[in-house]
A = this chain, B = another copy of it.
Amino acid sequence: MDHITNVNDGLYMATTKAPVNIAVVKYWGKTNEDLIIPANDSLSLTLSTEHLCATTTVAVGKKFREDRIWLNGKEESIRSARLQNCLHEIRKRSQEALRMQNDLPDYTGWNVHMCSVNNFPTSAGLASSAAGYACLVQSLGILFHIEGDLSGIARQGSGSACRSMYGGFVAWLKGTNPDGSDSVAKQIASSDHWPQMRVIILVASDAKKDTSSSHGMMRTMETSTLALHRVENVVPQRMKDMTGAILNRDFNKFAEIAMKESNQLHAVCLDSFPPIHYMNSASWDVVTLVHRYNRFYGTNKLAYSFDAGPNAFLFLLEESLPEVLAVVEYAFPTTARGVDFFRGSPAVIGKLSDELKNFMNISPQQDAVKFAIITHVGDGPKPHEGPDAHLLDVHGYPK
């Protein structure tokens, strides 16, 4: 009964925090839409919940008349097929858990109330479904006494959520079983494996998403004549190379593969019909800036990655952080510059040498970036405890 709050004999509750993750070998396309089985393996970094996380409270109540869910303060439909799949799997696994340990209270027949919030602005276009589903599944797993890997359940909520079930550097293996049972996440290295790794998220001003990732990847798989070649012939080697780069802490190689993977994701989007377009002119300003920075040093000291939106995820080592922040500050001035521009970890902005500035030949882009979040690799979902931890009140309703 660890991490479960027994409010009364008719109401149990658990709350967790779960991280977002950013892929450096990209997931884009499924072989099974219902089970969410991906067309290829992928690999991501789990980001610290200090700066970006979802928090979810799940309550199971004898008196609840139906399953209900509230996201960011608003009740949403419980009928979503993906949510139903997750709840179904949880209840099935719960029965198994009860058969193993019959001293546990059996409330698998009761209904659940679920309440989830993100600590980052949803308008920023940062993928929230991965953290959200990871958090939901982790909370449900605790509440229903489920032991072992939950990533296969999180996967059925939102594919990349399975990678948020672990901290550090995480692979999502597509698996080979048609039922998806071996399509799960595996930790490649823990969050303290490469402590110098830093991530800066540059939130683009115009971060509205035109094509959802689900629709986008479906269109790519159906129409791109390059996507299948990527899936079958390019990604397997990149998974090996990226795993090696991470295990060897080879930043130059890590950066190269991360950038090539981001570029290829957007290339197969462009090769879709009609073409899909997520990177905007601010994204391209970042690409240009990163390649010029690396050319100055003759090695990759900085990498970019873009998901299904214009926001840039920059990867770098701690030693480069002050200078890179100076470059970012110079390249993306904002009219409202202030304490709010750099968020997350404290920003120690270094000096931008004239030599570097002249070499990079940057044209500053006013207000192209709204704000930046400085963060690092972090752990997987964690129970969130304490008197005010729960998002649901003693009756099981949102506070």
Listed in ascending order, the chain A residues whose CB lies under 8 Å from chain B are 225-226, 229-230, 233-234, 256, 259-260, 263-264, 266-268, 270-275, 277, 280-281, 284, 287, 291
A281 to B234, CA, bound (A): 29
Contact A263 to B259, CB < 8 A, known contacts A226-B229, A226-B234, A229-B229? no
Closest B residue by C-beta to A234: B225
A274 to B266, CA, bound (A): 14
A268 to B256, CA, bound (A): 17
Q: Measured between C-beta atoms, what is the minimum distance from A366 to chain B in Å? A: 16
Q: Given the complex, which residues of B lie within 8 Å of A264, measured CB to CB?
A: 225-226, 270-271
Q: Given the complex, which residues of B lie within 8 Å of A281, measured CB to CB?
A: 280-281
- 13 chain-A/chain-B pairs, Cβ below 8 angstroms: A226-B229, A226-B230, A226-B271, A229-B233, A259-B274, A263-B271, A267-B268, A270-B270, A274-B287, A277-B284, A277-B287, A280-B281, A281-B281
A184 to B69, CA, bound (A): 66
A263 to B277, CA, bound (A): 11
A225 to B268, CA, bound (A): 12
Besides A225-B234, A226-B230, 4 more A-B contacts (Cβ < 8 Å) are: A225-B264, A259-B273, A263-B273, A267-B267
Q: Measured between C-beta atoms, what is the minimum distance from A85 to chain B in Å? A: 32
Q: Given the complex, which residues of B lie within 8 Å of A267, measured CB to CB?
A: 226, 267-268, 270-271
A270 to B256, CA, bound (A): 14
A268 to B266, CA, bound (A): 10
Closest B residue by C-beta to A260: B273
Q: Are B275 and A263 closer than 8 Å at their CB atoms?
A: yes
Q: Given the complex, which residues of B lie within 8 Å of A266, measured CB to CB?
A: 270
Closest B residue by C-beta to A291: B274
Closest B residue by C-beta to A223: B260
Q: Given the complex, which residues of B lie within 8 Å of A230, measured CB to CB?
A: 225-226
Closest B residue by C-beta to A275: B263
Q: Measured between C-beta atoms, what is the minimum distance from A28 to chain B in Å? A: 13
Q: Given the complex, which residues of B lie within 8 Å of A284, measured CB to CB?
A: 277
A234 to B223, CA, bound (A): 12
A234 to B281, CA, bound (A): 29
Pick the contact of A275 from B256, B275, B287 — CB < 8 Å? Answer: B287
Closest B residue by C-beta to A263: B275
Q: Measured between C-beta atoms, what is the minimum distance from A137 to chain B in Å? A: 35
A260 to B223, CA, bound (A): 10
Closest B residue by C-beta to A256: B273
Closest B residue by C-beta to A273: B260
Q: Given the complex, which residues of B lie within 8 Å of A291, measured CB to CB?
A: 274
A273 to B257, CA, bound (A): 10
Closest B residue by C-beta to A224: B267
